[in-house]
Structure 1
Amino acid sequence: MSLDHCDIFPLQTPDYLLSFQFSSWYPIFSSISIKSTVIRPLDQPFKEYLDSDGIFVPEGSENPPAESSISDQEDEDDNDDDAAVGRSFFFPDLDERIRQAIKEYGAIFPKLIFSSPKDAAWVLPPSSPLKCTSPSDVYILLKSSDFVSHDLSIDTIFEGCQYDPLNPPPYQLELVLRKWYPIDRSREFRCFVRDGCLIGITQRDTNFYDFMNEPKTQSKIVETLQRFWKDKIKSKWHGQQDYVFDVLMTRDLSRGHVLDFNPYAPRTDPLLFTYEELLSVSTRELSTPELRIIDSPLHPVASRNAPAHQHNMVPIEALALSSGRDINDFSDLWNKEIQRSMNDDA
């Protein structure tokens, strides 16, 4: 028997998807989540900056703010006209709010209403991925990410939903600043709830962890997450009873912290499951959710040595050269830079 979309997923409506925006669920679950600051609504110029070509940092967003004299500015204007596009973006109020969050939390990592720029973690030091200590760090992460572009268009936000284009659903772009922690990826799990029942749990990181193959450890993971869901989430969830939530477990695997909520929808990666498999699990009405882990270094989806999101990586020199330039200008300049480097090495 073939299955259609309606058998596997709940009805995708704008209201359903908006119930997963950060500002919708965070006030309810802030006591069991990571400390966060939500800035909304974002001004139109900031949206235009995120949606503009090139990767550059808005003027004044360095920490501390860059200082320049009048003569310095005049010299820049004479010698670097191409950078004018980058300098035209200036967000002093937003800079200040970001600095306030950094002062309060020590360091932050950003996300927009649904998406985080984890595919751009490579632009910051690898020893502390996504760790932002200045507004410029936040901006360069967001600008370097393909993921966050999803949140900039109402067409992608409500993809798969039917609505009147002349009367689109209400939607406000928001910037979320979360307290940065050095997270142990081996303790991150994604949990699937269907029709109000926790049916599946999968590790989020696709690396093999030997300790996770111990039966006692697996039992503890399932027991803790099932109790955590029943005690802390089930009765408080405010929307349709089909959702996905991400959890970071404590070192002793006895408690958890909610990282995010996601729609039970094709846009949410089922990781070690498929949604067809999750449907099969839900029909079996098991007393405990099914746990999926990477049980061997040879597992088909186990990570190898290649870095995650490597398709999105470009040399840092390319970031510097791209500031304020369109793709043709950048291509010409990049080719000249490569040729110059070859001549220097000759």
Structure 2
Amino acid sequence: MRVPVLFRVLSLVHSINQGMAIRTMYRYAYFEPGGPEKLEIRSQELPTTVKDKHVLIKVFSTAVNRADTLQRKGFYPPPPGESEILGLEAAGVVDKLGPNCSDRWKKGDRVMALLAGGGYAEYATVHEDLLLNVPSNLNLTEAGGIPEVWLTAYQLLFFVGNVQPGDIVLIHAGASGVGTAAIQLTRHAGATPLITAGSSAKIQTALDLGASKGFNYKDGDFSKAVLEATNGRGVDVILDCVGASFYEQNIDSIATDGRWVLYGLMGGGSINADIFSKLLRKRVSLLATLLRSRSREYKKKLINSFTEQILPLFERGELKLTIDRILPFDKVAEAHKLMESNTNTGKIILKVHEEIQSNLTQHEEL
């Protein structure tokens, strides 16, 4: 028995020494505009300094978002001054603090980051205001699927859509990352979520998460089913990531004085029709929003509100992460192909580093 134990001790010491080695390079996802095949993993030098009030995090996971695929195609560049590397969210641990950081974060903290770019990498820098604590009941792989979609859904519903108890909310792409988050947040707010999706399996997922009803948009005009489900009144809020191809059914579905929140254009952005007179007749508020290009002050306010109101629900297990699959970082091109196939339900997560649980219980037998 002595030999195996000694071998394990020496292996542990070797691992610790490896971890203490000074690292000068890190891997990231490089791309040239085009298809998923344009994605590849490259290496570049790790920053030796961190900007004022910024934090360097070692990334354990990130996730694929629709915006990433648009940027890869050359259609959605990052805001000025932000990283050209893909990736709008990440989870990991604090590796280094820049000058003038507050005492809120310390090295080794488990954090989630809302990014304007840079998540597809082994290390990423982010302003300290844009970090969130990882819920204690989640690991760092799961946590990589929270920041972008959950903060987006929270923003759409409460900062823009002003959802109130008793409202009826129509959520397009109800089985997407944002959709699955929005269903649960709508329920938490005391409102009723209805969804659209493209398959019976996706609709069932949405129903399991708390959607009241789901409608397959491939089966025809969903507005008739929406009106039937609401006794002819229509919905108070629409969360719309589709745009042009759904505009007519949205107008028919929305109630008088409803709020139509537009945050994507998967179905196109050009409409040649009499839309304004119909909006006027119903006194509809058309609200367009993006999160990536918002100011840091706005994002800070959003994160602080989310941290106070929603993160405790994760801690208590009242909110559920919907993860389609977890892929290794090297499979980033495959992840983009999957996203563009529209077959995923929930988040596609990229595991960048393996999370090693090292505590006394695991090693006490040594």
TM-score (norm 2): 0.24
Please, what TM-score do these two structures have when normalized by structure 1? Answer: 0.25
**Larger helix proportion, structure 1 or 2?**
1
Q: Which has the higher contact order (CA 8 A, sep 6+)?
A: 1
